[in-house]
Amino acid sequence: MTTKTTQMLPEDLLKAYFGYESFRPQQKEIIETILQGNDSLVLMPTGGGKSICYQIPALMLSGITLVVSPLISLMKDQVDSLTANGVEAAFLNSSLDYEEESEIIRRCTEGKIKLLYLAPERLISSFDFLSTNLNISLIAIDEAHCISGWGHDFRPEYTQLKILKEKKPEIPVVALTATADKVTRKDILSQLSIPNATVFIASFDRPNLSLEVRTNWKEKMKLNAILELIRSRPSDSGIIYCLSRKTTEEVSAFLNTQGVNSRFYHAGMPSQERAKVQEEFMNDTTTVIAATVAFGMGIDKSNIRWIVHYNIPKNIEGYYQEIGRAGRDGLDSDTYLYFNLQDLQTLIRFATESGLPDLNLEKLKRMQQFAEADVCRRKMLLNYFGENTASNCGNCDVCKNPPKHFDGTVLIQKALSALIRLNESVGSSMLIDVLRGSHKQEIIEKEYHLIKTFGIGSDISVSDWKQYLMQMLNIGVLEMAYDEDFSLKVTGLGKEVLYGQRKMDMVLPKVFESAKSPQSVSEAAKPKPVTLEERLFDNLRIIRRKLAQAQNVPPYIVFSDVTLKALATSMPVTEDELLEISGISHNKKGLYGEVILAEICRFIHENQIIRQPSSFSPPKTPKTSGSLKRMDTFEVTLDLLRKGYKTAEISAERAISQKTILTHILFWYEKGEWNETEEFISPENIVLVAKAIEAVGDASRLKPIFEYLNEKIDYDTIRWGIAIWQKTNNLSSL
């Protein structure tokens, strides 16, 4: 049994440190298993809350928790996020110099760090020292699928982690991953020497993600459709996954010529350039990335709103993980997969040349079946991971536009008859040309125009024939000879259909509207009416970006989009109400609450919004404190000011913090309703703040002004100085 160091319940810690009212499914059970000292394997989808499963126990246990993470960027994100929530965390990796490492190790030995993140090879090389000098309560292994050669992202250094249990069998191990099939799960347990671990498999369903597959779109149509997507949601972040490095560069170049600020990313770029592109994306400086799968696990960004697969992925695990990077915050997000025979042939070649050709070909076949599905795609996706559901999702293209079936026997017979007369020696493109009666030079030279079935399918378009042939491959009447330049062959089942022994249903090809040209997209774009909530959300995004820049962290570390939307909808004006917003911990309230409340208060009054307290409806426990209108909270403060109350007296009278009362008074000062400032700032400090503003050249950022004043004037006083300086210079308030 592991030793606890706090009497706080897991739910209390969840709210205090992470700002959430309740656990997601299975999180509580996983935490209890870890606290009992048992090993665990946790399978939870991207964005499902895996980290909470070991971070809460880390706060409850007496010692330190070591976390294995494969990438520097992942470690930094996790540590930044924990630090923002008031949790003592650090990492050890090659980005630190000797002095920085020594300081972190010192803090660990003094018990001042609760979570320490390391790469697998660093943990192995340092484990004897760490286990001798630290009280290790738990070892968490993130991205655990990397340990398995059966997985889609195998990393040899992970296989060394088996010695952890051999050296310290008493320390519980929790392995966590978002994607692992049955074979990979079994391998993880074996490789980590935790055969008796409790296995938790959360639902792989991500209902907030829409799924759409687009088959046989031409390059120009694809590019224009992607451009239309980006222009319809210019503030949203998205990733375009491409099969080749060259394609990432071409797609990005096209978008840039159309005025989209995009970047490309692939393994052939210098590491510094890759790091810069990733940093720009994480910080919302760049919102669109065209990338290969090299743009992978380090993308722990919660507000990605769309994913495009420009080409079909090589397996469902990779596809699921890549689309899982969208909508990690739970908000609606869209995914699009483009699929054609050429991409399939390329991936078949890669699979046959790999170290595990049979396995990789089988995985690719399952990916093809998903792309060609005529039933709910989410059902197929969940079934792959061993999860069954009875109902259709209603949020995939198949559910939204159900396919129409027809008796395809004659159509199949036409294709197979032509193929046999061509001695089963041609690929899909040539077969389509013959079926359509093309007079290309190669066809004439080979005398294919003389066969009896030449032109028998001339009434069907090239695009439709491509879809039909892929269906035929999928239902098993055709197969590809990979070792014969991908020539098509008629299967035994195909011969039964060809000779009239069996009938076969097919699906009518989907009809997509031609993607608009870039010019027509621009002309068609009409501004939509913007609601007050959307305006406030945009304002809060700007503030979030400034706060993130000041702390050198990505914006989503400060607040997720979910939290910003809740703030914009509920418009809390007190610290108590702020804490009821999901995702706002006590530490974040202290760090950012005053700035956020000031903006919301300013927005409410600027737009003359009058709301009943009962309209405030954050998750779980909305405030309903009487019948005062929302604006009355400011007016009560003003009334008390006019009666001669001081700030501390108003705070005590109203049971509201002095910081919130100061926000009210600042508002009334900016509106000209209150002009007495002596209680808040001296004439000398007014002069000093004004000089600091002029020297710094920016009145919108408090920290540079604070530092310019040698940290001798507090932030509240600086805010008053800024307000007075702006009013004196007839400038708008912050």
pLDDT tens-digit map of 195-211: 999 999 988 889 999 99
Half-sphere exposure of 374 (CA within 13 A, CB side): 16
Q: Which residue has the higher pLDDT, 115 or 383?
A: 115
Q: How does strand 89-92 pair with strand 209-215?
A: unpaired
Strand locations in 373-518, DSSP E? 405-407, 478-481, 487-490, 505-507
In terms of Cα–Cα distance, which of 718, 716, 717 is closest to 705? 718
Q: Domain check: are 385 and 412 in the same one?
A: no
Q: Is residue 493 part of a domain?
A: yes
Under a CB-based contact definition with an 8 Å cutoff, are residues 177 and 143 in contact?
yes
Q: Is residue 158 part of a domain?
A: yes
Say which residue the tokens 């030279």 belong to.
445
Strand locations in 169-313, DSSP E? 173-177, 198-201, 209-215, 237-241, 262-265, 288-291, 304-309
Residue 604 has pLDDT above 50, yes or no: yes
CA max distance for the chain: 104
Q: Domain check: are 323 and 455 in the same one?
A: no
What is the model's pLDDT at position 613?
A: 44
Six-digit token string for 104: 């972190």
Q: Is residue 224 part of a domain?
A: yes
In terms of Cα–Cα distance, which of 198, 246, 256 is closest to 226? 256
Q: Domain check: are 493 and 568 in the same one?
A: no
Q: Domain check: are 425 and 569 in the same one?
A: no
Q: At 285, which amino acid appears?
A: T
What is the number of structural domains in the chain? 4
Q: Looking at residues 40-55, what average pLDDT do you find?
A: 89
Six-digit token string for 698: 């920016």
Q: Is residue 560 part of a domain?
A: yes
> Band of the pLDDT at 2, cuts 50, 70, 90?
low
150 burial type by CB count under 10 A (0-12 exposed, 13-18 middle, 19+ buried): buried
Q: Which CATH number covers residue 68?
A: 3.40.50.300
Mean of per-residue pLDDT scores for the chain = 86
Q: Is residue 523 part of a domain?
A: no
pTM across the whole model: 0.71
What is the model's pLDDT at position 66?
A: 97
In terms of Cα–Cα distance, which of 178, 116, 130 is closest to 151? 178
In terms of Cα–Cα distance, which of 730, 732, 733, 728 is closest to 687? 728
How far is 222 from 229, CA to CA, in rounded Å? 11
Q: Which residue has the higher pLDDT, 46 or 527?
A: 46
How far is 96 from 72, CA to CA, in rounded Å? 11
CA distances from 209 to 235, 255, 333 (A): 18, 24, 5
What is the model's pLDDT at position 373?
A: 84
Six-digit token string for 237: 């972040």
Half-sphere exposure of 502 (CA within 13 A, CB side): 12
Under a CB-based contact definition with an 8 Å cutoff, are residues 48 and 202 in contact?
yes
In terms of Cα–Cα distance, which of 133, 117, 139, 151 is closest to 192? 139
Residue 401 has pLDDT above 60, yes or no: yes
What is the model's pLDDT at position 521?
A: 42
What is the model's pLDDT at position 624?
A: 33
Q: Domain check: are 189 and 78 in the same one?
A: yes
Q: Domain check: are 428 and 309 in the same one?
A: no
> Band of the pLDDT at 5, cuts 50, 70, 90?
low
Q: Which CATH number covers residue 426?
A: 1.10.10.10
Q: What is the pLDDT of residues 133-165, one digit of tens each?
A: 999 999 999 989 888 866 556 788 888 899 999
Say which residue the tokens 């484990």 belong to.
127
CA distances from 23 to 37, 83, 220, 330, 588 (A): 20, 21, 46, 14, 19
In terms of Cα–Cα distance, which of 607, 583, 599, 601 is closest to 530? 607
Q: Domain check: are 167 and 95 in the same one?
A: yes
What letter does residue 634 receive in the DSSP assignment?
H
Q: Is residue 74 part of a domain?
A: yes
Which residues share a beta bridge with 173?
A: 139
Q: Is residue 4 part of a domain?
A: no
How far is 384 from 376, CA to CA, in rounded Å? 13
Q: What is the pLDDT of residues 71-99, one digit of tens each?
A: 887 888 889 889 989 999 999 988 888 89
Q: Which CATH number covers residue 644?
A: 1.10.150.80
Six-digit token string for 201: 């498999």
What is the model's pLDDT at position 629?
A: 41
Q: What is the pLDDT of residues 679-713, one digit of tens each?
A: 889 999 999 999 988 888 877 667 778 888 888 88
The residues, ordered by sequence, that sit 6+ positions from 23 with a Cβ below 8 Å of its Cβ are: 10, 11, 14, 31, 49, 52
What is the model's pLDDT at position 419?
A: 95
Q: What is the pLDDT of residues 550-585, one digit of tens each?
A: 888 889 889 999 999 999 999 998 888 899 898 999
Six-digit token string for 445: 């030279």
Under a CB-based contact definition with an 8 Å cutoff, are residues 130 and 136 in contact?
yes
Least confident window among 157-161, 191-195, 287-291, 668-672: 668-672
The H or E element containing residue 64 is strand 64-68
Q: Domain check: are 357 and 415 in the same one?
A: no
Last residue of a domain, one of 490, 507, 524: 507
Q: Domain check: are 415 and 387 in the same one?
A: no
How far is 616 from 573, CA to CA, in rounded Å? 10
Least confident window among 173-187, 454-468, 618-632: 618-632
Say which residue the tokens 């960027």 belong to.
73
539 burial type by CB count under 10 A (0-12 exposed, 13-18 middle, 19+ buried): middle
Q: Domain check: are 360 and 466 in the same one?
A: no
Q: Domain check: are 118 and 154 in the same one?
A: yes
3-state SS track over 227-244:
HHHHHHCCCCEEEEECCC
How far is 204 from 670, CA to CA, in rounded Å? 51
- As a whole number of Å, the CA-based R_g of the chain is 30
Domain span holding position 606: 532-728
What letter does residue 699 receive in the DSSP assignment?
S
How far is 408 from 669, CA to CA, in rounded Å? 77
Residue 238 has pLDDT above 70, yes or no: yes
Last residue of a domain, one of 507, 542, 572: 507
> Band of the pLDDT at 56, cuts 50, 70, 90?
very high
Cα 630–chain centre separation: 35
Least confident window among 238-242, 244-248, 699-703: 699-703
Least confident window among 25-29, 255-259, 596-600, 662-666: 662-666
Q: Is residue 512 part of a domain?
A: no
In terms of Cα–Cα distance, which of 223, 234, 225, 227 is closest to 527? 234
Q: Domain check: are 368 and 422 in the same one?
A: no
> Band of the pLDDT at 483, cuts 50, 70, 90?
confident
Six-digit token string for 515: 């993607």
Last residue of a domain, one of 357, 373, 400: 400
Q: Looking at residues 231-239, what average pLDDT do you find?
A: 92
Q: What is the pLDDT of residues 303-320, one digit of tens each?
A: 899 999 999 999 998 899
